[in-house]
Structure 1
Amino acid sequence: MTPVYLGFFEVLGEILRSVFDGVFKPVLIEASKMIFELLGGVIFDMLKEVLFDGLVGLLKVVRALSMFFDVFSGIANVMVDDVSNGVVRGTQEMTFLQYLFRQSTIGTMLAYMTMIAGTLAFLFAIMATAKNISDSVLGDEVNPIGKVLTNGIKSAVTFMLVPIMCTFLLHLTVSLTDAVMDSLQRASGIEAEMKMDDAIFLAVAQPAAKSSSTFENIYRKTSYTYVNRDEILKNFDIGKIDYLVGYTAAILTIILMLGATLTFIRQCVDLLMLYLVSPFFSATIALDGGAKFKKWRELFVAKFFVGFGTIFSIQLFLMLMPFYTSDMLIFSQDVTMNNCIKLFFILGGAWSIFKGKTLIMEILSPDAARSANESMALVTWLISRK
């Protein structure tokens, strides 16, 4: 039996396959691309306002945390009613730490602690004298009785000097903070009200600006402009805002700023605790010549000056931000890569502010700086877990 080959159908199939691959396939691919781009554009147009509103919400949280940070770190003042005999006679501006130390209950507690520590100092002086007499009988090398009496007098004098030293450090840190802030702002030319949320908005919204002159002259010099929705829609194409960079920077900045703010709250409590227990360390001077009091003094002074590292970090970050987000500096021709590099700078600035708290403390008290770093790491981990 002779086999029959359907050569005609094979040739027809090859022709149709060639026509499909050469004509219909490219048309279908281009048509699919157009449909997906059209649908993607329609969906994005529907969602871009939602994305912008979400970004604005996150930036508002960043701004609120920045204000909390300023208050608890001593950068900003709080308003306190001046009450005399139950009558409000006006308001006073002071740092939050000054307000805490001026509370009458703190002064009352310190007075009670001083009375208890005074009794302990008397007992310590008796113990030191007895030990000195015992060692002299045994023939060991001892300090003279005059040294013991001198330590006792030092202990008594220190009871009075600690509150004076605390008041002096409070006024000194407030004056230095104001002077440093004023000097840095004058030198850099930045506006005092510009904060972290403004820096993030400027970084991600610059490519979307319809007018570069408006962006440079208005938005770079005015804070909290992103909440004016009508003006934003008029001056920006919100579809061109890099939301990935904006959302990432805002969320990570919230975590870092929240951790730093909680750490500064702990610093205020630590200072109050050190202040209230100071009489007990003063009492030990009569026993050990001031070794324990020296450690207390180093930690107490270091806790007062830790804010300067943060102040410098914030001002340097805000001073450099306009240069790194400017159109004059291009990291990459790829817009996405260029914005990602800006994102890394924003996150690096936020991290420097977060770590800047212990910058001065590492010099004044390394042990306290180590403890502060551990506590900040724990707080940040707990926040990120939630």
Structure 2
Amino acid sequence: MLAGTWLADGSAAAQQSRSDSVLALVGGRLIDGFGGPPLENSVIVVRGNRVEAVGRQGEVAIPPSARVISTEGYTVLPGLMDMHVHLMLLGHGDYDHWDRTYRSKWRDVIMPIAARQLLLAGVTTVRDVGAPLEDILAVRDRINRGQIPGPRVFASGPFLQKTVPPLEADFRWAISGPEDARAKTKRLIDAGVDLIKVIDQDQMTLEELKAIVETAHAAGKHTVLHAHRAEEIRQGIRAGADCFEHTGLATQPGYPDDVLAMLRERNATLYWCPTIEGLYLYPYTVDQFPARLDDQRLKADLPPDIYEDVRRSLDHPERLPYFQLIRRRVPTLANKFAQLRTTGVTLITGTDSGIPMNFHFDSTWRELDTFVRLGMDPMDAIRAATFWPAKLLKRDDLGTIAPGKAADIIVVDGDPLRAMESLRHLVHVVKDGVVYK
């Protein structure tokens, strides 16, 4: 077996590999993202950054110049796609302290660390849904140019909302009236964002929210809205939003009947990113596995002073209001997840990674594991992290493994259809034809 080289410095090597190389992954069980049965004894030929051929051993010719990686005994899948991350956060327990202390380091230190952690966790595409505009676009573009390692980033930049705390004005933009809403949305689009994120839309007029959604749609951008409160969901549906985030409704046992009816009656495809694993993860980490906070994958990437600060911030999570509420929310999640599955919304994987105690290096596989624990078929869970996010992003070259697709491929030790935890045991990570692990 040939293990790939970690291209820590980004570049020239990565760019050459992408444009000139031929790679063959030979022998593994292929789950291609389309939902069919796995293909045993598979061969995937990659030329440059695209998949050239897929089939069984003996049926696909392996070019003589190919670098051959044996995947025998492993499972091969499309790179995972996490549709809700925050690269400016690293799991610290105190948002105010983090913002005050590390704001100046987000672009050059924090975001590159988060990006590397995600990529080495098998996540080859993310949506970053809330960050200072210039910072996140700079990091996105550095990744795209091969200057730093990381997943392909689709960025919203700042949230749009009705009112904004003064200290958060660089990653939250206040809107006042339909014209201002339209102007700020256009300003984000002109700057180069990939989508528009809205929160607290129940505090907006319907005209304000429609101005945002319609301006985004006119530019070919999709809209992402919070679903923390029932009226946020109602308002978003009325305005024609594309995707909701979180399970929401705090400690309420489920969604109101009228909200469920509105979801069922919507004709257009509606995506929902429940960000559910982080809520289960807090009591698990605090009560059952506190050693998770000492994981070497966290320590290895963080400068010692930042790691110690993150670690100290989580010494007494029970004292933080954020965590106290979570314990009361967890019992409601299974019912809400089941309700969403009855409405016809398309569930996709997103983790809110970066929020307190939710680390980039292990959040995505845990989200899929939680989906399965809550009753989703394992193949459907995998497609929620591959096929369906690609559809939302209108990137049919992502999320599946087939000729002509982007060469985003992961190899894991185990069978995620039997145990989703297999996704944590990564053997290889290939993004855009470059072997990063």
- Structure 2 length-normalised TM: 0.20
Greater share of helix residues, 1 or 2?
Answer: 1
**Which has more strand, going by share of residues?**
2
**Which structure: larger Rg?**
1
Query: What TM-score do you get using the length of structure 1 for normalisation?
Result: 0.22
